Amino acid sequence: MSDDAQHCSFVLLADFDIDRGAQLTYQFPQPLGTDEGLLANLMLPDGAEKQPEDWTIFFLNQTPFNTIAPVLALEPSHPDFDIDGIYELDVSTDQPELLYVLNLVRTKLDKTARRGAVVKAMAICTRHPFIQIFKPVLLMALDDYFANPSQDCLSRLFDAVNSMDISMVPVLTRHEKLIMRTSERKDVFLEKFEDYLQEVNGDSGIAIQNAQATPSTVRQTHRKSASTESQGSSDGKIPWRNGVHEQESEWGREKDLGRSDSLKATAQIRKQYSPSEASFSLDGSAVWVGNESGLDQVGPGNGNGNGNVPYRGRSSTDASSSSSQGLHGRRDDPTVAPAAANVGMNALKDTHFFPAMVDFNDHHLPIKIPLSTFPEEVGDYSLIQLVQTFSGPTASLSGPIHPHLHTNGAMTPAIIVLFNALVTAKRIIFLGHHRPAGQVSSYVLSACALGSGCGTILRGFIRRAFPYANLTNREEWESIPGFIAGVTNPIFEHSGAWDLLCDVGSGRMVVSKDIYANYPTNPIFSQGPLIMRTGTLRAEGSAGSEEDVGRPSRDIAAPQKAELSGKADSSDNLFMEDILSAIASHYGEAHVRARFTDYAARFVRLSARYEEDTMGSTMIGFPSSSYTERPGEPRRLGGGIGFVDEATCARELAANASRIEAWRRTESYTLFQIDFRKALGTDPIQGFDVLHQLWRLRHARNMPNGEAELIMRSIAESVRTYDQVTQLLSLMPPHQNGLLSLSFGLFHQQEVVRELTIDIFNELRTYPIGVQFLQALNHFQRYAYVRQAHAREARLLKDQSTLMIPAPPQISRTPSNRSDSSIVGG
């Protein structure tokens, strides 16, 4: 990232005057050009004087009424601060860049004041969605202002934040972010911190040389570090790729240099050689799976005997390699930890964050910048808190049963009702009477993450979210379709201008009694003729809800009991049981987020199948098909969402038809169409639905041999570059057992499938992130890979020796008695 872009666009200061109310005292460095009264009331929430300290969040440039118009236009954001090709905003909307505002309000008792207390608030306006990183410096700045109230305090805060150097922050691609956010390893993508580690280690000469060779804005983000190269060439171990490391050996450079042709030759070399079977310890202590580019280099004493095999240095892992209990998910043997890696991890602690520093008033404040944040994720939200609040023993769900919200009738879990309300753009209010405004804001941000799949699947929620809202501009934000607002004033509960009310204090969730009047249900298949599939949708509708079209709200309040009673074993209920069980078992926030991301992704793929069945085609997913193998025709892989059987497919589509139809009429649906169309053209792996193939490997029963071969061949031929590797790994997260489904190919009855699986694993192990995924396999799977790869290596070397050394006539007439060891050693 570049350090010339502003982290802080504005600093605001507001205080409460007993005669004039909330007042905006300072705006630095210039006035925002918007309603000052609105800003002051957002910075000083209702009941602020009752809280010693409170945090609130709101947005600017979100809607016409809170769009700023400063005299001096803001500098355009640096490209590295954009969404980086993940989910680019539709340029046709011509929307200004969103500003996130973190606000701290504090009440200090003062007997000299008229009301016995002084209430002041200070806010930072930034382009970064991870606004929580500025809390420490904002705390100190407000203390500074209480001690010396002047605009100089705002100026010092503004300068301190903007002087934060993040020029060495690694910029991750979408797929790298997806991998990082599901990995518990604290050394994931450690190789991307090379520039930072060189500076920390004091290797200024190399750092300067690299800086001169490469502009600061173009980082070679996954190259082999200099310290690792020197160790690999001097510790007496096997040369990497026939001495390729003596040249530039920067395997990640192919991304930054346009995948140069020179690396294609080395790619052919690396596919021919595999780990030695001697690397496997029969007592189960370790299985060598590849070089980790300095993450876990093994000392000279741990090398194996096949020193002449032209393959790179190897590193090991044991049973603890995939466990989160170890320091970094690797063995605790101190002899295998290199000095460079130790220094790097001591400096970084956790590669999920980049360590930065803010200097404010002679204080050095450490800042941890999260690297896997998506734009729809704002602040430090908690899905666990959201689930526990509305799934606890005191939680309740009341109101009419609406097909857009209740996918399992009366038994629909409250969190699923909330998810459905979010994706169908219902008006949602989070009420926290006598609660801090910051707590209510947190629930709103958590809800946005819930609906968007933690920012990775859908978008458009932040644009209609108001983490803290009050009566000042009530007409404006209530006019936004599908608003998501957090309030502390109970008057909003009685206003009726909402479709779903969520009381964060009691866990109560209420569906508006006028929900049918505001959102009448329409016949599901009125838009076109039904294209029937065997055992899929029925033309008579779903769940008995859409048949009630045209009835008044009071007549629909009691639909058919048999159809709306729900089923305890529905997919939504089973999903929420898994979530609650995971939380009770102390799974972390990252795991819960990953599960809800999967849920949102499956909803989208289910919607694509629904569109195919009702309209004949879809623009939000791959066409649904199954594997076909006919004589005289090429074999074809399947695509689309997978089901165990057609009966399950029919039930799922029928239960979700109403909310899918409602989602199709929202802005979120339109934005996803844009995102999917872009992904079709930019994803590294092209030509087939990778997710469908992985689902087949995980769940298919009696898979034809031809399909298994075609799946493995398609993956092996499509995963040849670093970007393709990261896309594949992003679809195989640890909570879905990682590479387990691919490792099944090592035990397939056909040799060609086993060979293709080895090709895939050999490609993965050329990159540190692939090594980490391979290490997560158990000993049995890893040994199967090492044993078969070594056997193929021995065959290749034997064939090469046979071709290179002409056999004498007498030997050509008799069988050779040369041993495999002589071939490998020679």
Answer yes or no: is pLDDT of 50 > 70: yes
- Right CATH number for 8-169 from 3.40.50, 3.30.160, 3.30.450, 3.30.519? 3.30.450
- Token pair 């996954």 is at which residue? 222
Cis peptide before 29 (omega within 30 of 0): yes
pLDDT at site 359: 94
First CA to last CA distance, the chain: 49
Q: Which of 69-83, 223-237, 371-385, 514-528 has the lowest average pLDDT?
A: 223-237
Mean pLDDT of 769-787: 95
- Token pair 């690297």 is at which residue? 371
Beta bridge partners of 13: 26, 122
Answer yes or no: is pLDDT of 140 > 80: yes
Cβ atoms within 10 Å, residue 5: 16
pLDDT at site 11: 96
- Token pair 């994931």 is at which residue? 188
Cα 231 to Cα 340: distance, rounded to the nearest angstrom? 9
pLDDT digits (tens, 9 = 90+) for 511-549: 999 999 888 876 554 333 344 443 344 333 333 333 333
pLDDT at site 790: 93
Q: Cite the residue boundaries of each domain of the chain with CATH code 3.30.450.
A: 8-169
Handedness of CA 754, 757, 759, 765 (dihedral sign): negative
CB 1 within 8 A of CB 196: no
Q: What is the mean pLDDT of the chain?
A: 78
Helix/strand/coil percentages in the chain, nearest 5: 45, 10, 45
Answer yes or no: is pLDDT of 176 > 50: yes
Answer yes or no: is pLDDT of 323 > 80: no
SS (H, E, C) 338-394: CHHHHHHHHHHCCCCEEEEEEEECCEEEEEEEECCCCCCCCCCCCHHHHHHHCCCCC
Phi, psi of 46 (to 5 degrees): -60, 135
pLDDT digits (tens, 9 = 90+) for 3-25: 456 899 999 999 988 778 889 99
More confidently predicted of 314 and 668: 668
CB 390 within 8 A of CB 415: yes
Q: Are strands 363-370 and 500-503 parallel, antiparallel or unpaired?
A: unpaired
More confidently predicted of 268 and 104: 104
More confidently predicted of 349 and 593: 593
Cβ atoms within 10 Å, residue 540: 11
Handedness of CA 110, 112, 116, 117 (dihedral sign): negative
**Amino acid of residue 200:** V
Mean pLDDT of 720-740: 96
DSSP 236-305: S-PPTTTTGGGTT--TTHHHHTTS-THHHHHHHHHHH----GGGS-TTSS-EEEE--TTSSPPPGGG--S
Question: Which pTM was predicted?
Answer: 0.80
345 pLDDT band (50/70/90 cuts)?
A: low
